[in-house]
Amino acid sequence: MPTFSYKAIDHTGQIVEAEENGDSAESLVKKLAGMRLSVIEIKPKKQLSSFSFSKIGSLFQRVSGKELKYFYVNLATLINAGCTLKTSIAALSEQSDNKYFQKVLFEIDKDITSGKALSDSLAKHPRVFNQLFITLVKSGEEGGMLDQILMRYSMYIENQEKIKSRIRGAMVLPGIISIVAVGVVIGLLTYVFPTFMQMFAGKEHLLPAPTKFVIKVSDILRFSYHWIFAALFSLGMAIYMTLQTKLGWKVFCIIQLRMPLFGVLFRKVYLARFAQTLGALIKSGVPTLRAIHTTGETIPNVIVTDALRVISSCVERGGAMTAEMRNYPLLFPNMVILMISVGESTGTIDTMLEKVGSYFEAEVQDAISAILSAIEPIMTVVMGVVVLVLALSMFLPLFDIGKTFS
């Protein structure tokens, strides 16, 4: 009997993570429901097995965000146009160029033909479809408005992709400039500078301090570069292993929210995603408690997730979301708390959340522009200092060339 690891919400609103044996994921979900556990994520536990090239190959099978976006938009359009769910899935499966995604859609088509719900079939492919999409589809099936849910989700995905593309686009120019600058400096230190210093061979003890410093840096780059690569690799592995621990990841999340320049950007990105996701879920008919939990699953920052868990517990006890939000001023500004409070009191919380999401989506663009404006002068100053040190190291010996060769 296979073993499954699951994450569920108990009757007190707390998250429960455990493992359980079951014939299938569906039967285990029913069993846990009898134990007053509402499953939000379930997946088979990986078993150790013999070496297999096919399993290694499966690690490279993936579906890109762009492919998923087109799938969501096309599926929503086809169903809205009157096509049946089975016909729509089959058509999109045939049109996909990704063999792995084509196989997944074919399996979903088979499940639908056998009478399974779309949400149950999607849940069998957690590597492809996230929990937010599965929850929305389930809500759409229960409310008989699957086409509307799919259309809303496709719009949500388009907004998220726009934010991601803006952030990636903003990092391109500084990244290119940094790579070129580092390459030029390494070229100067490993080729130009050593050639220039040959005229002072045997007189190194008479050279000025800046020149001696640059000579040491140049020697390290030329003769000890393998140690540099080893140190960088070790540092990278140490950071990676640290981030795999709960404490290490929590520290990283705190730094991410408080770091200069980028901290503001990350806070606005997470706030926009929180408002847009929660608003979409509530508007689609998902209960508020489950919507908050699902929203927390979409945000890759444990500090934000913990805050949403506390807010969820408050809602479970009959309180308002804003009652706990005031305890997290770094994450939820007063303006956001006021708008959500008005939405809760007037019954238009989904509309207010959408407005908050749209506002902070625009704020993300402003934050990106501010970061770019700040990065450019910082990089100019850094490069100026590097050029100044290199220039001094090369020209100071020339000014005292008579003393050096005497």
Q: For residue 187, give every residue at least 6 positions away whose Cβ sits within 8 Å of its Cβ, in sequence order, or none.
A: none
Phi, psi of 327 (to 5 degrees): -80, -5
Q: For residue 346, give every residue at least 6 positions away whose Cβ sits within 8 Å of its Cβ, in sequence order, or none.
A: none
pLDDT in tens, 53-108: 444 444 457 777 778 888 888 888 888 788 888 888 888 888 878 888 888 888 88
Range with the poorest average pLDDT among 95-109, 224-238, 265-279, 388-402: 388-402
Confirm if 349 and 282 have CB atoms less than 8 A apart: yes
CA-nearest of 383, 397, 393 to 192 is: 393
Number of H helices, E strands in the chain: 19, 3
Task: Report CA-CA distances (Å) from 100 to 33, 93, 226.
Answer: 32, 10, 40
Domains of the chain, residue spans: 3-46, 65-158, 161-406
Retrieve residue 48's tokens: 């150790």
- CATH of span 65-158: 1.20.81.30
pLDDT in tens, 142-167: 777 777 777 777 777 777 777 777 77
Superfamily of domain 161-406: Type II secretion system (T2SS), domain F (1.20.81.30)
Whether 65-158 and 161-406 share one fold: the answer is yes
Q: How far apart are CA 361 and CA 266, in angstroms?
A: 12
pLDDT in tens, 309-349: 899 888 888 888 888 888 888 889 988 899 989 988 888 88
pLDDT of 46 reads: 57
Q: Residue 373 — pLDDT band, cuts 50, 70, 90?
A: confident
